[in-house]
């Protein structure tokens, strides 16, 4: 619990950040946001969390809808989005759309408008097909912006990217907020080494947006960012370029290695996590588009066989011992493939995972607040003034 | 945006209308409502919209549920109902009932009561089977009215027909409100010609309630209402009688023609839209009831073959040129079957559809407000006083 | 409608009950609650209902989620929980989990935390497998309690058992509140005879938690509780022991008979209802765990054949005539298997069922208020003070 004076001080920090460009705007990729904007998301998230802990209502919407569009199943993201909306006073309405039902841009435009008559925010997760997810989100965002301009919609619904094919900003920012708190402040991150490494999983086709999101964001804080994966498991080149440029600008570094051992060595943070090779994801998209489902099965088979060559890419106790003081912060977006628990051979040893259970849950717990902060910043031109007003009113969340 | 004075003036117009019979009552068909009642729905819808545009909260319910029962899939109607409920402060709970699960009147009565303990309103869409939809709604409405009388329910949930086999009042009234605004006022509709015409679609079994709803409502405004369809594509005789009587009373006209060309000629408004012949829909209902699913497939096949004879019933650019000044208002309840976009041959040319995109979206945008108005009028004995109270309070929807 | 003075008097009765142990605690089984705690649930339920009838808002939560986990389909329980949450200001989020998806305790712990970031209450129905339902609920409750302690969750979500393999407390307490009101007060129940009897149903595997819940609760009120079933249809021995101990403590009695006639004779209340034998339910659980689905079908077949031997265990008009003055209160948790309506031969004659329709609906109508009362008592340390505050404020539910 924080005192009102502490929260007031947090609001004053926020007031100094320039968030004007976020107002009535969408959140697609972290690297499209300025440093002030990134800092503001963290700051608003922390303020909202502090106010909730103090039983102060942050319900800024009296009514209004938050539309969620999940193009694959997602319990956790669904609940995070629903929590964020509820915290601010929006009611969630789920739109269940199969990928096959949204083919043409015009159809997307129509549906986007039809579900948005009372929508203040739209959250979309569409991470399955390379080259599709972000494009879809952009079409939705443009459609409702136009709907607002044309007088069809009474408000401009803003969009939160809940995971696309390129970035997973709500994940990477929740992860980073966890890291900031773990190390006692953003100022302590300079020079810290993070190992974002591929790890073996018995399942196939995991999205690239987590590793991409991590290197695209963590490289902004002067850290030593190391990306490790077996040969062939490349991620998108564009995002590597983003990470390299970020690292340069922030006085940190970004490099790629082909050994988990090298990545883990003296690392302060490790993030071992499976993903599919970019080239495979591209082929998969082409096959789905062409309706070649037999070839798709074949691709999956080949991909799993290839994965199996790298079963030694797994986060063991021995590897953990090679990290900084043997105590690196272990991270994962969850759920993990845990050796001996959820599968025979997976991303991480059960004993390692178990030791980090509470930190892992805390890591996840930031996500609803990150989403709420993104919504908040897109809806209020002067977020600090609005938060101060809520603090002054101090309406109890529970009577 | 309207000024408070303008909204006040709108409320004063509402105050002169007699809506007493709507209080604690259901909304089944437009032709069961008086002229004052129809006018009141439009007026409340416009006032609610104006208040939302001005960021004035119209949340009259502190808590309470809006139950939605959709007996076939319906994204758009679902969102319209959810939006309307949210606007007034009700939380939507969906009841998923398969048609097979509700067989006996007694079962309907039980389920209706069991889901209505905190329900202020029930919205039902059941348009699939001739002779069934309205009957089902009536049973639900009677059941909960009785439940209230018996002390089972603390409130009398009122019912909004979100589309039955006979009428589609929320569609026809949203359409009419669009027309009223397009032509600059209800007083400008006298003598305007509307062509409600059948159009070819490659799909089968589209409900009759849209054309029926349109002729049953539009005939009340002194307009020249023309219904056009190929031989055999008749709608319900009862509704044609309603339209004829309405036309007579309002100083307009209602007639049937068997040519799209004749209907479009000099029309101010065109509404080309596919539907199934009434006789086919009746047979379909009988076959479903008898569980004769093989015969059902055969019926579908025959029906599609018959449809295909009338592929020239389609809204082309050439046809549009024959309308009043070549500029008739094109209408559709959406989604449309668009030639060259969503199908090879459909109800309308893509270029025509594209030209009317914004008006079509605006047409749809009235529906949540129409639904909210129907709920509002069924819940408040003095709707104008209540709206004036909301205007005086002027609580912001978004802080 | 009650006057404010009457409601105030009800609150004063509540104030004398010790509910301190309920605060931030879960509700699993009625027999784990003290007499004061049971009385408090009834009292809060009645107060909440009275306030709603008087259009006084009982929305104590400004925001917050109620998580519902239904591990089998359940329209009615779903709506009751949603109603209760809505009444208090919580928004429901449904978690759809298949039994196969939650295998390990650790997975339950993870999921429980991941969905609870903004959860104030969790309602679970898991009644399908003997030895599983309660265990699952306990794991969820412990997991989130720990999550709160560890700083993962900002609040401690409390759990309401919406039906487990052992007890069905929201049903039995709604039933008892109906009985209390029917007989004009809890003080009139001493010596009243209730027949909780098995009845024939053409379906298989109905849970034991209803009869167990009834004898476990009704035996606390000095009543003559008679449990009747054919040979082999035993319920859990532990719960029979609870009923026997309760009866002794309350000055009532509990006994088992093997004849419906004997149970009905001079009964004040009859509750004829089908259930599966405990031994069968145990075997079923074992077979499901072992994935022996063929054997499962065989078990069902044998069980239905055995059921069919006892078709004369049905609540007929003749049997009803043998009850006290021929006018026993007929009860059922609904839906019932009604002879000649929902099935050829079932639990009750249609004419009996029809005669009790309104009482049956009233019986069910208490459930949302019972659930709301359980939530309320777990969230407020001084429930009477909080209710008095709501009464004093008297904010209208509908403006």
Query: Of B390, B364, B363, B365, which Cα lies nearest the Cα of B376?
Result: B390
List chain A residues with CB under 8 Å of B91: 91
> What are the tens digits of pLDDT across the range B299-336?
999 999 999 999 999 999 999 999 999 999 999 999 99
Residue A385: predicted pLDDT = 98
Is A63 in contact with B57 (Cβ distance < 8 A)? Answer: yes
Average pLDDT across chain B, whole number: 95
Q: Which of A110, A152, A154 comes nearest B53 by C-beta? A: A154
Whole-angstrom distance, CA of residue B381 vs CA of residue B18 = 10
Listing DSSP states for C177-215 in one string gives: HHHHHHTTSGGG-TT-EEEEEE---SS----SHHHHHHH
Residue B364 and residue A110: Cα distance in Å, rounded? 10
Does the pLDDT value for residue A96 go beyond 80?
no
> What percent of the residues of chain C are helix, what percent strand, and what percent coil, each to the nearest 5?
50, 15, 35
- Between B4-15 and B383-393, two packed helices, what is the crossing angle to 10 degrees? 170
The complex scores an ipTM of 0.95
Mean pLDDT of the C293-315 span: 93
pLDDT digits (tens, 9 = 90+) for A263-298: 999 999 999 999 999 888 899 888 888 888 899 899
Q: How distant is the alpha carbon of residue A74 from its chain centre?
A: 13
**Model pLDDT for residues B222-256, shown as the tens digit of each residue:** 999 999 999 999 999 999 999 999 999 999 999 99
- Give residue C97's pLDDT: 66
Average pLDDT, chain C: 95
Which residues of chain A does B83 touch, with a Cβ-Cβ cutoff of 8 Å?
65, 117-118
First-to-final CA distance of chain C: 18
User: Minimal Cα distance from A97: which residue of B?
Assistant: B75
Q: How far apart are the first and last CA of chain A?
A: 18
- Calpha distance A168→A44 (Å, rounded): 19
- Residue A66, pLDDT score: 98
Residues in chain B: 399
Helix (H) or strand (E) run with residue A387 in it: helix A383-393
- Is residue B156 within 8 Å of B105, Cβ to Cβ? no
**Left (φ > 0), alpha (ψ -120 to 50) or beta: where does A64 sit?**
left
CA dist., res. B50 & res. B44, Å (int): 10
**Among candidates A115, A118, A379 on the partner chain, residue whose Cβ is nearest the Cβ of B86:** A118
Q: How far is it, in rounded angstroms, from Cα A258 to Cα B159?
A: 65
* pLDDT tier for residue C37 given thresholds of 50, 70 and 90: very high
- Region B167-196: mean pLDDT is 98
Whole-number Å distance between alpha carbons of C67 and C94: 6
pLDDT of residue C99: 47
pLDDT of residue B103: 46
Whether residue B243 has a cis bond before it, omega within 30° of 0: no
Interface test with B, best of C171, C368, C394, C397 (most B CBs within 10 A): C397
**Per-residue pLDDT, B105:** 65
What pLDDT, on the 0 to 100 scale, is given for residue C369? 98
Query: How does residue B398 score in pLDDT terms, banded at 50, 70 and 90?
Result: very high
Over A65-119, what HEC string results?
A: EEEEEECCCCHHHHHHHHHHHHHHCCEEEEECCCHHHCCCHHHHHHHHHHCCCCE
> Is residue A235 predicted with pLDDT exceeding 80?
yes
Residue A58 CB neighbours (<10 A): 24
Residue A104 has pLDDT above 70, yes or no: no
pLDDT value for A100: 40
Length of chain C: 399
How many angstroms from the chain centroid is the CA of residue C246?
Answer: 18
Q: Which residues of B touch A150 (CB under 8 A)?
A: 358, 361-362
Three-state secondary-structure class, residue B128: coil
* Residues C369, C371, C375, C380, CA torsion sign: positive
Q: DSSP E strands: which ranges in chain B? A: 65-70, 91-95, 119-125, 158-161, 193-198, 224-228, 253-257, 269-273, 329-330, 338-339, 348-349
CA distances from B68 to A215, A308, A314, B50, B74 (A): 45, 49, 49, 26, 11
C65-70 vs C119-125, strand pairing mode: parallel
Q: What average pLDDT is seen over chain A?
A: 95
User: Mean of the pLDDT values across residues A239-249?
Assistant: 98
Residue A114 with chain B: CB contacts under 8 Å: 75-76, 79, 334, 361, 364
Split at pLDDT 50, 70, 90, the class of A99 is very low
State the pLDDT confidence band at A128, using cuts at 50, 70 and 90: confident
Confidence of residue C15 (pLDDT cuts 50, 70, 90): very high
- Preferred mutation among B106, B118, B393 to probe C, highest tally of C CBs within 10 A: B118
Cis-peptide, bond into residue A335, ω within 30° of zero: yes
- Among the partner-chain residues C60, C110, C154, the one whose CB lies closest to the CB of A334 is C110
Those residues with Cβ within 8 angstroms of residue B241's Cβ, 6 or more apart along the chain or in another chain:
none
**Is the pLDDT score of C363 beyond 90?**
yes
pLDDT > 90 fraction of chain C, expressed in percent and rounded: 87
Q: What count of Cα atoms within 13 Å lies in the side-chain half-sphere of residue C326?
A: 6
- E strand or H helix at A122: strand A119-125
Counting Cβ atoms within 10 Å, is residue A19 exposed (0-12), middle (13-18) or buried (19+)?
Answer: buried
Residue A97's pLDDT is what? 66
Compare A100 and C156 and report the one with higher pLDDT. Answer: C156
Rg (chain C; Cα; Å): 21
DSSP string covering B177-240 = HHHHHHTTSGGG-TT-EEEEEE---SS----SHHHHHHHHHHGGGT-EEEEE--TT----HHHH
3-class SS of residue A20: helix
Smallest Cβ–Cβ distance between C62 and the set A78, A362, A397 belongs to A397
Which residue, B359, B339, B361, is CA-closest to B350? B339
């Amino acid at each position: 619990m924080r005192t009102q004076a502490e929260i007031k001080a947090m609001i004053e920090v926020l007031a100094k950040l320039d968030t004007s460009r976020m107002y009535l705007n969408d959140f697609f990729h972290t690297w499209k946001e300025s440093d002030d904007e990134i800092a503001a998301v963290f700051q608003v998230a922390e303020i909202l969390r502090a106010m909730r802990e103090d039983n102060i209502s942050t319900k800024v919407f009296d009514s209004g809808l938050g539309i969620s569009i999940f193009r694959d199943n997602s319990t956790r993201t669904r609940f995070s989005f629903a929590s964020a909306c509820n915290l601010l006073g929006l009611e969630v309405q789920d739109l269940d759309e199969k990928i096959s039902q949204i083919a043409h841009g015009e159809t997307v435009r129509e549906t986007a408008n039809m579900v948005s008559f009372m929508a203040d925010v739209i959250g979309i997760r569409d991470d399955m097909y390379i080259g599709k997810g972000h494009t879809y989100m952009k079409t939705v965002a443009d459609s409702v912006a136009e709907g607002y301009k044309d007088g069809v919609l009474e408000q401009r619904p803003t969009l939160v990217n809940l995971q696309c094919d390129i970035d997973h900003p709500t994940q990477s920012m929740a992860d980073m907020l966890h890291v900031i708190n773990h190390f006692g402040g953003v100022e302590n991150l300079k020079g810290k080494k993070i190992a974002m490494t591929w790890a073996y999983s018995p399942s196939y086709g995991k999205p690239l947006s987590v590793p991409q999101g991590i290197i695209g964001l963590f490289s902004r804080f002067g850290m030593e960012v190391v990306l490790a994966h077996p040969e062939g498991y490349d991620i998108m080149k564009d995002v590597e370029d983003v990470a390299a440029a970020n690292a340069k600008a922030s006085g940190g570094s970004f490099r790629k290695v082909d050994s988990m051992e090298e990545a883990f060595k003296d690392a302060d943070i490790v993030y071992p996590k499976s993903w599919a090779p970019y080239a495979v994801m591209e082929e998969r998209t082409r096959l789905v588009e062409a309706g070649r489902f037999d070839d798709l099965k074949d691709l999956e088979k080949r991909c799993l066989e290839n994965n199996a060559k790298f079963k030694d890419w797994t986060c063991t106790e021995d590897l953990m011992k090679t990290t900084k003081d043997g105590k690196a912060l272990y991270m994962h977006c969850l759920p993990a493939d845990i050796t001996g628990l959820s599968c025979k051979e997976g991303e991480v040893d059960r004993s390692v995972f178990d030791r980090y259970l509470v930190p892992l849950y805390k890591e996840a717990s930031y996500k609803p607040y990150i989403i709420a902060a993104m919504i908040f910043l897109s809806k209020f031109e002067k977020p600090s003034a609005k938060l101060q007003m809520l603090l002054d009113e101090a309406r109890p969340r529970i009577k």
